[in-house]
């Protein structure tokens, strides 16, 4: 498996509050963490960096412990819970960081299975045999309206409350996350991103890039496409190729 990642400030923001880390584990499994910070320039950047750094460190440490190695959902849940506590404690103890938080989507791919944990509206997609499937469901006000049938998915794309999320790492002492597992075959692609990509680039365009771009060039091409479409937010993309 190969893993690639890239982040960009976009065209409208004065700072980049996104952060992404990826890596490979001793047995060949790979992992990625994507975060989109919020809470002012300092707060958002701090939250995303602390969260991603903590999760990455915990993945490496916990993976060596048998009970976590054999239960990757528990591993991710523990790693994210520790990161949530660290960010939350910092927000309480440092006045300038009050109210900070971050979305998170993290994944470990091992033995033809992808394990994903997320909170917020950063996403994970699985591309397999020409079909793109969103594995995560946004934790957002607009998604709740769609789920209740009050608006259509098409109306959600331009809703004025599109950017209001209902869950974020670090804003509360306890964080509710969602876990998703899926089969991951050879030549499949896992795409993880912040809303700077998903809000700008429609799924049919994502499919076209996934179909035609080498994975080594995919992150850069998707970021450039998001900027062509307005680049209204920070843009972060991570891909894992089977």
Residue 206 forms part of a structural domain: yes
Exposure string of 171-209, with b = 16+ CB inside 10 Å and e = fewer, is beeebebeebebebeeebbbbbbbbbbbbbbeeeebeeb
Residue 60 forms part of a structural domain: yes
**Looking at residues 147-161, what average pLDDT do you find?**
76
Residue 113 forms part of a structural domain: yes
**Looking at residues 43-63, what average pLDDT do you find?**
97
Number of structural domains (the chain) is 1
Residue 152 forms part of a structural domain: no
pLDDT digits (tens, 9 = 90+) for 121-138: 999 999 999 999 999 999
Residue 151 forms part of a structural domain: no
Which pLDDT value is given to residue 148?
82
At 159, is the pLDDT very low, low, confident or very high (cuts 50, 70, 90)?
confident
SS (H, E, C) the chain: CEEEEEEECCCCCCCCCEEEEEEECCCCCEEEEEEEEECHHHHHHHHHHHHHHHHHHHHHHHCCCHHHHCCHHHHHHHHHHHHHHHHHHHHHHCHHHCCCEEEEEEEEEECCEEEEEEECCCEEEEEECCEEEECCCCCEHHHHHHHCCCCCHHHHCCCCCCCCECCCECCCCCCCCEEEEEECCCCCEEEEECHHHHCCCCHHHHHHHHHHCCHHHHHHHHHHHHHHCCCCCCEEEEEEEC
Residue 162, pLDDT > 80, answer: no
Residue 202 forms part of a structural domain: yes
Residue 11 forms part of a structural domain: yes
The domain of 200 spans 2-133+167-241
| Residue where the block lists tokens 């528990």 | 74
Which pLDDT value is given to residue 75?
98
pLDDT digits (tens, 9 = 90+) for 165-198: 999 999 999 999 999 999 999 999 999 999 999 9
Residues constituting the chain: 242
Domain containing residue 72: CATH number: 3.60.40.10
Residue 41, pLDDT > 70, answer: no
Lowest mean pLDDT across 13-22, 39-48, 61-70, 213-222: 39-48
Residue 83 forms part of a structural domain: yes
Query: What is the DSSP pairing of strand 235-241 with strand 113-119?
Result: unpaired
């Amino acid at each position: 498996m190969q893993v690639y990642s890239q982040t960009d400030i976009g065209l409208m923001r004065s700072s980049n509050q996104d952060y992404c880390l990826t890596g490979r584990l001793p047995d060949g499994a790979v992992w990625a963490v994507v975060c989109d910070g919020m809470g002012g320039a300092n707060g958002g950047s701090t939250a995303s960096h602390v969260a991603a750094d903590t999760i990455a460190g915990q993945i490496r440490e916990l993976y060596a412990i048998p009970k976590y190695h054999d239960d990757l959902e528990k591993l991710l849940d523990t790693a994210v819970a520790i990161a949530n506590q660290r960010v939350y404690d910092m927000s309480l103890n440092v006045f300038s960081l009050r109210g900070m938080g971050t979305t998170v989507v993290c994944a470990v791919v091992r033995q033809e299975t992808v394990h994903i944990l997320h909170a917020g509206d950063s996403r994970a997609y699985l591309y397999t045999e020409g079909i793109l499937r969103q594995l995560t469901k946004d934790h957002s006000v607009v998604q709740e309206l769609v789920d209740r049938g009050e608006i259509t998915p098409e109306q959600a794309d331009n809703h004025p409350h599109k950017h209001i999320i209902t869950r974020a790492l670090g804003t509360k002492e306890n964080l509710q996350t969602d876990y998703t597992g899926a089969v991951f075959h050879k030549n499949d692609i896992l795409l993880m991103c912040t809303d700077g990509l998903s809000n700008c680039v429609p799924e049919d365009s994502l499919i076209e890039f996934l179909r035609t771009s080498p994975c080594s060039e995919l992150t850069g091409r998707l970021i450039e496409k998001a900027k062509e479409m307005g680049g209204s937010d920070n843009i972060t993309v991570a891909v894992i190729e089977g």
